């Protein structure tokens, strides 16, 4: 593929509120290449999560255009947009959002089942993913029976289940101690080395330092779009 993986032009997101509209994202244009590692930083409330949700097709922009692999996302039906999200994009939410009644293995199985993958293939893929994130020995644990770092790794395994081209993670180390955060950062490095584009919202300098490119957001806009750490400190 020659064009960018993601091509966003003039994205805005306005939330209508009683006290007046909140402009969470203002005129953001951004291209993400296949296999790129991008960090997004910026103060609380500057629009990082909102932008990530739009890029992940979890939310729709108020205006602007978003292309994924050359296809206009806004032109897709709800069903096609869901399929794109299911098959091509992995999303790791800040608070994991694992299904509490399901085990680690079952959580990783869900998106594959939704994608219609056959049972035997799912079983193999789930075992491979749990091994990839170092949690084969925790396959039968429910989320409440996992540590924070383990739950985050299950969330990453789940996000990778259908081999997405883009992995988006919203502060994946925000609630973890430093050593556990390093482990997650190492895992994201490996995901990127395996060819998946990775976009991480993070306040963690250890992750931002690893990314090839860092966006600094302020008040809904991209203030700095630079290489690695330079220009962001
Ligand atoms: N669903 C919503 N309805 C109304 N306002 C919202 C909604 N979601 C976010 N906002 C507002 O939009 C702005 C951006 O929010 P966002 O969650 O994107 O910030 P953030 O940069 O991710 O912050 P943090 O670092 O604290 O997670 C904030 O002012 C927030 O209050
Ligand atoms: Mg946020």
**CATH number of the domain within which 110 lies:** 3.40.50.300
Q: Are 151 and 108 in contact (CB under 8 A)?
A: no
Ligand 1 closest atom vs CA 13: 12
Q: Which atom of ligand 1 is nearest to the CA of 15?
A: 4
Contact criterion met (CB below 8 Å) for 188 and 159: no
Note the pLDDT tens digit of each residue in 50-61: 999 999 999 999
Domain presence at residue 65: yes
pLDDT exceeds 50 at position 69:
yes
> Is the residue at 172 inside a domain?
yes
In a domain, 48, yes or no: yes
List the domain range (segments joined by +) for residue 149. Answer: 6-206
**223 belongs to a structural domain:** no
Considering the domain boundaries, does residue 216 fall inside one?
no
Is the per-residue pLDDT at 105 higher than 60? yes
The pTM for the full model equals 0.93
Residue 137, token pair as written in the block: 């020995």
Average pLDDT over residues 184-201: 94
- Per DSSP, 176 falls in state S
Q: Which residues contact 71 (CB under 8 A, 6 or more apart)?
A: 84
| pLDDT per position as a tens digit, 11-42 | 999 999 999 999 999 999 999 999 999 999 99
Q: From the CA of 51, give the closest atom in ligand 1.
A: 18
Q: Whose CA is nearest to atom 18 of ligand 1?
A: 47
Evaluate whether residue 107 is within a structural domain.
Answer: yes
Atom 31 of ligand 1, nearest CA residue: 45
Which among 56, 65, 28 has a CA at the least distance from the CA of 223? 28
If you measure from the C-alpha of residue 122 to the centroid of ligand 2, how many angstroms do you get, rounded to a whole number? Answer: 32
CB of 10 sitting under 6 A from ligand 1: no
pLDDT digits 0-9 by tens, 161-183: 999 999 999 999 888 888 888 98
Split into its structural domains, the chain has a count of 1
> What's the CA gap between 98 and 33, in Å, rounded?
29
Q: For the residues 41-70, what does the mean pLDDT come to?
A: 95
């Amino acid at each position: 593929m020659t064009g960018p993986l993601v091509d966003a032009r003039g994205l805005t997101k306005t939330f209508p509120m009683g006290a007046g509209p909140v402009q969470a994202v203002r005129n953001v244009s951004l291209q993400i290449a296949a296999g790129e590692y991008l960090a997004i930083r910026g103060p609380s409330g500057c629009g990082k999560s909102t932008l990530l949700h739009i890029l992940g097709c979890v939310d729709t922009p108020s205006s602007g255009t978003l292309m994924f692999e050359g296809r206009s996302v806004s032109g897709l039906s709800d069903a096609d947009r869901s399929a794109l999200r299911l098959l091509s994009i992995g999303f790791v939410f800040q608070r994991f959002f694992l299904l509490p009644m399901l085990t680690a293995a079952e959580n990783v199985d869900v998106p594959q089942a939704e994608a219609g993958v056959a049972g035997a293939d799912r079983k193999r893929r789930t075992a491979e993913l749990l091994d990839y994130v170092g949690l084969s020995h925790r396959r039968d644990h429910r989320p409440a029976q996992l540590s924070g770092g383990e739950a985050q790794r299950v969330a990453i395994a789940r996000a990778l289940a259908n081999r997405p081209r883009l992995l988006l993670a919203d502060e994946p180390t925000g609630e973890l101690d430093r050593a556990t955060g390093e482990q997650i950062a190492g895992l994201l490095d490996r995901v990127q080395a395996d060819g998946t584009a990775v976009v991480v919202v993070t306040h963690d300098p250890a992750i931002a330092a690893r990314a090839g490119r860092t966006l600094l957001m302020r008040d809904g806009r991209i203030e700095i779009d630079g290489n690695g750490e330079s220009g962001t400190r």
